[in-house]
């Protein structure tokens, strides 16, 4: 449901519509691949029964728009960042990213609506879409090749990291440029963000010689978020003591998978910590009960000590 405020901000879009109704819309700040770098405009993504319209306002010039017809859209996905939600649409020719969208529920509804109309369009126009299969297949193969290159790059950049591991396995890794308060002069270093079963490690090459590292134990991480853009994605980690950001990461899917893996291991770490705390409380409670029996004269000091040692595993 469009608000009155949204309709006012979309003034003039009726000139773009071709006997179509507006199904849904979200607003934010958008950029399109192929445009001049840094060309970010206040915009709307508008869904109609046949297309998604990128309707934006340029300084001085006024409103302009780009079409993303449903038969050309390969994918649409939603992500989150500290500044709001992001919507990324990939087509055969280009891609658009709209970020800083404040209403999370509205964005989620918009993406679901687009996917619904995409599925409906595909069912009704299967013969038209068949012409695009070869192009989609080529794009998929390019994506797979990029992923393979990134995996190989991560492995090369992780040489020597085995010396840092302490009975832990590497779960996942992504490469980029890292910055944090603890780095020399707050500079950026090329490196790899590595998830292990115990922690997240930023392993980087120093400017002069050798490698450096910084640890983020899973139980110390308060939050981890990611965002995507045309210069690459970024991952931000916040801990109790400091914060860290890795940017210029290639591969949106790989970034999302990495963050999901980190969140999964953090949840597992918290669960294990909770179980240990519960076990410690149970042991303390049992020792307290034996102490009461000793104080009442039911157990001797020696018997109490024996039971206490058993509970403590001594």
- Residue 253 is predicted with a pLDDT of 72
Q: Tell me the pLDDT tens digit for each residue of 42-61.
A: 888 999 888 999 988 877 77
- Kindly tell me the number of DSSP H helices and DSSP E strands found in the chain: 6, 14
CB atoms within 10 A of CB 96: 23
Q: Tell me the pLDDT tens digit for each residue of 215-265.
A: 888 888 888 888 877 667 888 888 877 788 888 777 667 788 888 888 888
Q: 35 versus 240: which is more confidently predicted?
A: 240
- What residue ranges of the chain are covered by domains with CATH 2.30.29.30? 4-133, 147-268
Q: Tell me the pLDDT tens digit for each residue of 182-213.
A: 555 556 788 888 888 888 988 887 767 778 88
List of residues 6+ apart from 95 with CB closer than 8 A: 32, 33, 88, 89, 230
CATH 2.30.29.30 fits 147-268, yes or no: yes
Is the pLDDT at 29 greater than 80? The verdict is yes
pTM confidence score: 0.43
Sheet holding 199-205, edge to edge: 211-217, 199-205, 189-196, 170-180, 243-249, 233-239, 221-227
Tell me the backbone φ, ψ of residue 89, rounded to 5 degrees.
Answer: -115, 125
Let me know: does 32 contact 24? Beta carbons within 8 Å: no
Let me know: does 299 contact 307? Beta carbons within 8 Å: yes
Distance CA(174)–CA(172), nearest Å, equals: 7
CA distances from 231 to 38, 113, 157, 193, 301 (A): 10, 28, 20, 18, 71
- Residue 303 is predicted with a pLDDT of 77
- Residue 53 is predicted with a pLDDT of 92
CA distances from 182 to 158, 178, 195 (A): 20, 11, 19
CA distances from 304 to 123, 283, 290, 308 (A): 75, 14, 6, 6
Pull the structure tokens for residue 15.
């000139």
Q: Quick one: DSSP state of residue 237?
A: E
- Residue 282 is predicted with a pLDDT of 65
For the domain made up of 4-133, give the CATH fold. PH-domain like (2.30.29)
For the chain, what is the mean pLDDT? 77
What average pLDDT score do residues 260-286 get? 73
List the Cα angle 9/11/15 in 5-degree steps. Answer: 145
**41-55, 119-133, 168-182, 196-210: segment of lowest average pLDDT:** 119-133
What average pLDDT score do residues 279-288 get? 67
């Amino acid at each position: 449901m469009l608000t009155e405020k949204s309709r006012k901000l979309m003034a003039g879009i009726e000139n773009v519509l071709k006997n179509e109704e507006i199904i849904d819309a979200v607003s934010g700040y958008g950029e399109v691949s192929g445009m001049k770098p840094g060309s970010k405009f206040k915009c709307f993504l508008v869904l109609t029964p046949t297309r998604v319209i990128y309707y934006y306002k340029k300084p001085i010039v006024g409103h302009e728009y780009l079409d993303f017809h449903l038969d050309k859209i390969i994918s649409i996905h939603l992500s989150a960042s500290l500044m709001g939600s992001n919507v990324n649409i990939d087509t055969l020719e280009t891609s658009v990213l709209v970020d800083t969208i404040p209403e999370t529920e509205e964005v989620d509804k918009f993406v679901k609506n687009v996917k619904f109309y995409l599925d409906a369009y595909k069912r009704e126009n299967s013969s038209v879409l068949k012409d695009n299969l070869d192009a989609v297949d080529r794009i998929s193969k390019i994506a797979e090749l990029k992923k393979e290159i990134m995996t190989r790059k991560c492995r090369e950049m992780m040489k020597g990291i085995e010396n840092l591991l302490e009975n832990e396995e590497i779960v996942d890794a992504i490469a980029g440029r890292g910055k944090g308060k603890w780095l020399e002069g707050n500079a950026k270093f090329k490196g790899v963000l590595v998830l292990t079963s115990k922690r997240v490690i930023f392993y980087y090459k120093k400017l002069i010689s050798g490698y450096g590292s910084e640890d983020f134990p899973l139980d110390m991480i308060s939050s981890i978020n990611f965002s995507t853009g045309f210069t690459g994605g970024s991952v931000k980690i916040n801990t109790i003591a400091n914060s860290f950001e890795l940017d210029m990461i290639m591969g949106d899917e790989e970034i999302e998978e990495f963050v999901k893996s980190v969140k999964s291991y953090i949840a597992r770490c918290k669960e294990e910590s909770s179980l240990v705390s519960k076990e410690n409380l149970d042991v303390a409670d049992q020792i307290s009960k034996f102490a009461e029996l000793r104080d009442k004269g039911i157990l001797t000091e020696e018997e109490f000590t024996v039971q206490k040692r058993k509970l403590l595993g001594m």
